[in-house]
Amino acid sequence: MTMLIDRIPDLTAEQIARVRQPLKNAYTLPPQAYLSEDVYAQEETEIMRKSWLPLARVDQIAEPGQYISLDLFGQPVMVVHGTDGEFRVMSRVCLHRAAPIAEGDGKRKLFTCPYHAWSYDTTGQLIRAPLMDGAEGFAEKDCKLPQIKTELWNGFIMANLDLDAPSFAPQVADYASYFEKYKLEEMVVVKTLEFDSPWNWKVLVENFMEAYHHIATHAQSLESLFHARDSKVPDNSGPWSILHMPSAHEEVAPGLPPIEGLEPWQERDLFATVMFPHFLLAFQGTGVAWYQVFPQAADRMLLKIHLLSPKSHLALDGFGEAAEGNAALVSVVHHEDIDANDKVWEGLKAPLTKQGRLSPLEKSIWQLNQWWLEKMNAPAE
């Protein structure tokens, strides 16, 4: 008998049970987990609004007064480097009659609302509200833009819409220990590629997190460098997953110089990692690619691929050219993935599509699925 589990809309108990199986018996999430607007609405409530999300790098707003505007699940926010040196994330909706006080990015000492010119400082404190004499009991000093919980982690400005959320760093301490030698905090964004992607966010994350598809999707690119069959995923001890892709070659590929202090195997190998739900970092011997995911709806997400290098490498001879070469390679590989994801998205919509069996090489997807079910409040067996 088919029974709907009402805590995850549109998914049946049988479908959930197949996802919960040990990896060697496990199935993918059912198509409705990707397609359903009700599932997406529940993801927003149960996952996105309670998770730590990476909003910016400190090097993207390195100077006091610099800011970046974003939209977080219906909440317009800005990430601000305060003139006092602090990094904050706050609402950018005016406290008067709700006009946005900032758009895009830039550098300001004051944020002045374009509607009636209320002015806020870089901490979100209202400094001046013109022509408000006679508004009884009103005082600028009592007005501050709502602040969002923020944490700095390895050069990333993280934010969580849940004010009661536990701190991020302890949850990913074991994860971070894998990558200490890459010195993430000393890196800077050197190039950003942007994509508007017509798929559910999990289609991208799953594609990012397995090397099984190298044998077909990347047969002409990645497979000869990182064989699908050699990839491995350690057990995890928290809300994260690590895919290790050992290099097929002994020598380091030409191009950007390796990060100083890495072990020789770290200079050669590739790691694709996720801190759930969708903080994606790929570690190479030469730098890091940060796939910044912005889910928009069940069937759409925006993606920014930021390429990071150690700050000390920027001044090296030939760095600019090598960085462009790396960006071109990332773009080629991502276009191969776009093609695969487009096809998967069409297939998921087909009436006869059902859950498929996972390969043991897709352990990262299995790890994410177990976490997803727990967060979406599916009852345990």
- Comparison of 122 and 309: residue with beta carbon closer to ligand FES: 122
Q: Give the span between the Cα atoms of 155 and 69, in whole angstroms.
A: 18
What residues have CB less than 8 Å from 172, skipping those under 6 apart?
A: 153, 238, 239, 240, 275
- Residue 97 binding: pick among Fe ion, ligand FES, none (C-beta 5-8 Å cut-off by kind): ligand FES
Q: Determine the interface stretch with Fe ion among 13-21, 255-263, 336-344, 368-376 (rule: CB under 5 A).
A: 336-344
Task: Report the nearest approach of Fe ion to the CB of residue 213 (Å).
Answer: 6
Give the number of residues in contact with Fe ion, rule: CB under 5 A: 1
Q: How far is the CB of 119 from ligand FES (least distance, A)?
A: 9
Of positions 55, 113, 161, 222, contacts ligand FES by CB under 6 A: 113
Coil, strand or helix: which one is 79?
A: strand
Element (H, E) at 321: helix 319-348
Q: How far is the CB of 314 from Fe ion (least distance, A)?
A: 28
Q: Does 94 bind ligand FES (CB under 6 A)?
A: yes
CB half-sphere exposure, 352, CA atoms < 13 A: 0
Sequence-distant (6+) residues with CB within 8 A of 359 are 210, 212
DSSP state of 8: S
* Least distance to ligand FES, CB of residue 137, Å: 18
Which residue in 34, 111, 118, 366 binds ligand FES (CB under 6 A)? 118
Q: Which of 45, 97, 106, 374 binds ligand FES (CB under 6 A)?
A: 97
DSSP for 341-377, please give it: HHHHHHHHTSTT----BPPGGGHHHHHHHHHHHHHTT
- Of 66-74, 115-123, 154-162, 308-316: span binding ligand FES (CB under 6 A): 115-123
| Beta carbon nearer to ligand FES, 130 or 254 | 130
Q: Which does 337 bind (CB under 5 to 8 A by kind): Fe ion, ligand FES, none?
A: Fe ion
**Strand locations in the chain, DSSP E?**
53-57, 66-72, 75-81, 87-91, 105-107, 110-112, 119-121, 126-128, 147-153, 156-160, 187-197, 240-245, 270-275, 279-283, 288-297, 300-310
State which residue, 206 or 337, has the beta carbon closest to Fe ion: 337
CB-CB contact of 148 with 137 (8 Å):
no
What are the counts of helices (DSSP H) followed by strands (DSSP E) for the chain? 8, 16
| Minimum distance from residue 306 beta carbon to ligand FES (Å) | 32
Contact between 116 and ligand FES per CB under 6 A = yes
Residue 101 Cα to chain centre, angstroms:
26
Q: Interface with ligand FES includes 99 (CB under 6 A)?
A: yes
Is residue 337 within the footprint of Fe ion (CB under 5 A)?
yes
Segments in 22-129 forming alpha helices (H): 32-35, 37-46
Rounded to a whole number of angstroms, the minimum distance from the CB of residue 91 to ligand FES is 12
**7 interacts with, out of ligand FES, Fe ion, none, CB within 5 to 8 A per kind:** none
The residue among 93 and 280 lying less far from Fe ion, judged by its C-beta, is 280
Q: Which does 144 bind (CB under 5 to 8 A by kind): Fe ion, ligand FES, none?
A: none
Q: At what angle do helices 13-20 and 363-375 cross, to 10 degrees?
A: 130
List interacting residues with ligand FES (CB under 6 A): 94, 96-97, 99, 113, 115-116, 118
List interacting residues with Fe ion (CB under 5 A): 337
